[in-house]
Amino acid sequence: MAKPTVPKVLIRAVVALWLMSWIALFWLFDHFSRTRPRHPDANDGHIYYLKTVSNVVYLNAADQRLQIIATSIAVTSLLAFLVLD
């Protein structure tokens, strides 16, 4: 029996999502590393650490959720591409 084919437009959309999400994720890590405090500050809510290439910064809850969502989209889109291809 022949393997079902996936429309090329779907594969291209998943690849585009994967590429955009990884670019956004790298930008987000760079932005956080330049703009977030390097020491925890419970008064401002910066208590969630993020280890970047050059240092450790502390995020607040909203920043951490954004980072988790961006990472999840990047990984999920990569897995979707691998499954569809």
pLDDT tens profile 49-75: 999 888 899 999 999 999 999 999 999
Higher pLDDT, 78 or 4: 78
41 pLDDT higher than 80? yes
Residue 82: what pLDDT? Answer: 86
Q: What is the pTM of this model?
A: 0.81
1 pLDDT higher than 70? no
44 pLDDT higher than 70? yes
Contact 40, 49 (CB under 8 A): yes
Return d(Cα 28, Cα 37) in angstroms, integer: 15
